[in-house]
Structure formats: structure tokens, C-alpha cells
Copies of this chain bind each other. A is one copy, B any other.
């Protein structure tokens, strides 16, 4: 049995690379957002051409990024959401909550320092861990027989 796992969260660090390496022996296909930050912010202009202002640029990009996220999240069996120490990351919370409402199991990764502001999301997640190795342990456990 193969699983399809969506990796939601910041695209400023290379946490997905680390997770994929640690999970390389698992029968899992990983998907996620565009990780090139400039292309992610600029995809609206790339498709529609130059926009009059930064708000229009953002709107054009966010619709295309949402299409990608929504499509890949729906095809996934499980989602992982990663919160780092920085950034507002409201779309990480949005994606994590969407996964929960769709009935997908969710593994939440967040540093202990973010416990308080993430307590409601943590409570609704399937499992909350503090680092990537722990998330891979949980993922691996789904396939283990003994």
C-alpha cells in the first residue's frame, strides 16, 4: 500500500527536503506547494502579465496557489503541517484545518515555544510533534507490522 502525503507549511526553509530524506524508505509520494518563493509570489504575473499593484499581484498568485493546494490536498491520504519560529504562516493553519475538515489525519510539527498559540490546532490534529524525525517515526509506524 502506497500513501500520498501533503506537506503544508513554510517555504522559506528546507524542512521538506529533510523530511523526504528521512522518509526515503517509506512507500510515500510527497506533494506540497511551490517551494520556490519568488515563483510562488510571482505566478500570478507569470500567467496574467504585469499587475497594476502589489495587491492585484497577490490576488492573482493566491488563486493559482490555492488551486494547487486544494487539488493536491484532496488527493492526499494524510497531511503534515510544519510551523517554524518565524513568519505568520496563516496559510499553514488554513491548510491544516482544511485537511482536518476533509477527514485527513494531520501530523502537526511545531517547536515547543509555539505551544500556546497553536493549542487549539494541536488539539484537533491527530498527532503533534516537535521535530521532523518524530513526524517520520509516526509516518513509518503506519506501515510497520511489529
Interface residues of A (CB under 8 A from B): 1, 3-4, 29, 31, 34-36, 39, 43, 46-48, 52, 54-55, 58-59, 61-72, 74-75, 77-78, 87-91, 93-98, 100-103, 105, 107, 115-124, 126-127, 129, 134, 137-138, 141-142, 144-146
Q: Tell me which residues across on chain B come within 8 A of A70, comparing CB atoms.
A: 105, 126
Copies per assembly = 8
A80 to chain B, nearest CB (A): 11
Question: Whole-angstrom distance between the alpha carbons of A66 and B125 in the complex?
Answer: 11
Is the Cβ of B71 less than 8 Å from the Cβ of A78?
Answer: yes
Name the prevailing secondary structure of the A interface residues: helix
Q: Tell me which residues across on chain B come within 8 A of A69, comparing CB atoms.
A: 120
Is the Cβ of B105 less than 8 Å from the Cβ of A97?
Answer: no
Is the Cβ of B101 less than 8 Å from the Cβ of A66?
Answer: no
Is the Cβ of A52 less than 8 Å from the Cβ of B55?
Answer: no
